Amino acid sequence: MNILTVHHYLIFFAASFTVALILTPLVRKLALASGQVAVPKDDRWHQKKTALLGGISIFASMLTVWILAAGFTDWPTYGRPYLPMVLCFVAMFALGLADDVFDMDPQNKLAGQIVITSILVFFGFRLGWTDSKTVNLFLTIIWIVGITNAFNLLDNMDGLSAGIAFIAGAFLFLTLYLNPDSVTLAGPVLLMCSAYLGAILGFLVYNFNPASIFMGDAGSLFIGFVLACLTVIGSPSQALGGGSSLHLLSVIAIPILILFIPILDTGFVSIMRKLFRRRISEGGRDHSSHRMVAIGFSEKKAVLVLYAFAMVSGLIALAINHFSMGTSLVVIVLYLLFVLFFWVYLARVKVYPEESILSDESSGVLTPILVEITYRRRLFEVLLDLVLISVAYYAAYLLRFEGVVGGNFSFFLRSLPIMIACQILSFYVMGVYRGVWESTGVRDLIGYMKAITAGSVMPMLILLFIYRFQSFSRAVFVIYWVLMLILVSMSRLSFRLLDEGIRKGNRKGTPTLIYGAGVGGQLAVREIETNSDLGLLLVGFIDDNPRIHNRKIQGYPVLGGQGDLEKIIERYNIRKIIVSFREKGAEKRKEIKALCQKMGAEIDVGQMKLIIT
């Protein structure tokens, strides 16, 4: 058997990349000449006719390089045992190509995928997640068919599906290369993965925004199926780990994290379409990427954000083999909480004309229950805090004992119920659950601090009374207090932080200046930021108080005073000035308007008024 080194894999990658780079433009010409183009539709994202059949270049590049690489290295080891799987690759590609050309019904396409996957499983390619062969068989079919369709659904914006496939494949390669002993077939999987990555990247050069060619179903089904199969044969078996918890975590969590974004987007779209009484198989502009564009991201930025999530997921998968069980769980839970808040924020974006079943009082007894578990309801907050308390408390133990809880784990388990009960009770009594997340401010943060302090002190007193605090570390409670304050504050501020971060990152509108940086000016800032119908882009303030010049208020600079107005207007192309004075505002507005006319500048001068009747 020939042992392959990283140089071999780099050669295979480069060869596949080069073939795809040359072949893709040729396929594009073929598609345009034969009329195989994607025509803009109401339920599709692209706005111009674009060549299809890009999957041909991915398929041909990968298979050609794989055959040559396996043949020239060690065919009995790297080639012959995987011929059944490669033939299934061909069948899945053919199924996708038939869908591109003949527009197959979804149920027929799904039936074909199940048949191909069942054949693959028959030849012995299956997951080893459990000790039951029967369970593993069904899990394998569900996994492969699910991931295949996930990439098919993810192919909804330029470069998204191919880019996520490349990132996932790259982390699968790194995971196996850095831990070759975890899988008996690491070498053959790495060879195939190298050819796969090169083909994907070569195609992505032409598919990234603005795309000149799409992969079509032939490509999306193929790349999803191949990646799913590679995770199947590239995942360690549960039987090899002796049943240890850490090994079980790596067996299941690593492939899920590597493919987390397509799994997440598919689940998200499926749930949202069910809530709005839509078929899961129908097209639509309701994917995660589309919702990001709806809240102000550019198409390219939306894709890059999903790339970033995929990379973070991959890094966590890569780190699991180097972390302890406890550290791995804490990191995964914190990441999932961040993902939860971001995708709940995306779920609030209105993309359907219909009302959700959650707002339909006639939809049955299930509706009140579902409504209660949305982020607006207290049940969700209590369940969230239950998780945050457990994570913060265990993380405090990890930090106190430098990542090795060891014998102190029994003390953690013994005191955790007391900590949960005291902290939840403290939150309830001190009004934490009466707040509204979207309006969280400094006063709320002070309230959180008091409630967390009370929730930290009470368990200490109880443990002192019951156990005389023997074998319990006071430092753990101090660390817990800090971590809990951070987690609770970030969770409650999550929607405001996302709102403000997205608005400031996607600033568009008429360049606007606020005259007066006092309370009135700050109210004007809030209105401009939250009311997109105004169409204003805030540049900064001017104020007559020289002590605050060149300072920042709510993130916006105080650019100078009235004497600097002409210079500021020219430099920042100001088109609107809002006078925020509460006293003599009308006089100041007339003065500024006359000054602008004297300058010859066409400036719309307005006045902010707060009216309470």
Q: HEC string of 195-251?
A: HHHHHHHHHHHHHCCCCCECCHHHHHHHHHHHHHHHHHHCCCCHHHHCCCHHHHHHH
pLDDT at 96: 95
Domain end: 503, 520, 551, which one? 503
Supply the range of the domain harboring residue 564. 509-607
Q: Is residue 121 part of a domain?
A: yes
Q: Are residues 51 and 78 in the same domain?
A: yes
Q: Are residues 159 and 90 in the same domain?
A: yes
Q: Is residue 409 part of a domain?
A: yes
pLDDT at 47: 63
pLDDT at 338: 92
Q: Report the domain count for the chain.
A: 3
Q: Are residues 435 and 570 in the same domain?
A: no
Q: Are residues 319 and 214 in the same domain?
A: yes
Q: Are residues 236 and 316 in the same domain?
A: yes
Decide: 159 and 298 in contact? Cβ < 8 Å. no
Q: Are residues 319 and 384 in the same domain?
A: no
Q: Is residue 172 part of a domain?
A: yes
Q: Is residue 346 part of a domain?
A: yes
Q: Are residues 389 and 282 in the same domain?
A: no
What CATH number is attached to the domain comprising 540? 3.40.50.720
The tokens describing 537, both together, are 């882009």
Q: Is residue 46 part of a domain?
A: yes
Q: Is residue 613 part of a domain?
A: no
Q: Which residues of 219-239 are buried (b: 16+ CB within 10 A; e: fewer)?
A: bbbbbbbbbbbbbbbbbbbbe
pLDDT at 313: 94
Domain end: 292, 324, 357, which one? 357
Say how far apart CA 305 and CA 62 lie, in whole Å.
Answer: 27
Q: Are residues 311 and 384 in the same domain?
A: no
pLDDT at 55: 93
Domain end: 503, 528, 558, which one? 503
Q: Which residues lie below 8 Å from residue 368, measured CB to CB, with a gap of 6+?
A: none
Q: Is residue 366 part of a domain?
A: no
Q: Is residue 365 part of a domain?
A: no
pLDDT at 19: 97
Q: Are residues 486 and 518 in the same domain?
A: no
pLDDT at 373: 44
Q: Are residues 348 and 390 in the same domain?
A: no
Q: Are residues 58 and 133 in the same domain?
A: yes
Regions of the chain with pLDDT less than 70: 1-2, 41-47, 181-184, 236-250, 281, 283, 353-377, 438, 501-507, 611-613
Give the number of residues written for the chain: 613
Say how far apart CA 302 and CA 298 lie, in whole Å.
Answer: 6
Q: Are residues 274 and 381 in the same domain?
A: no
Which ranges in 348-473 belong to alpha helices (H)?
366-372, 378-400, 409-429, 442-467
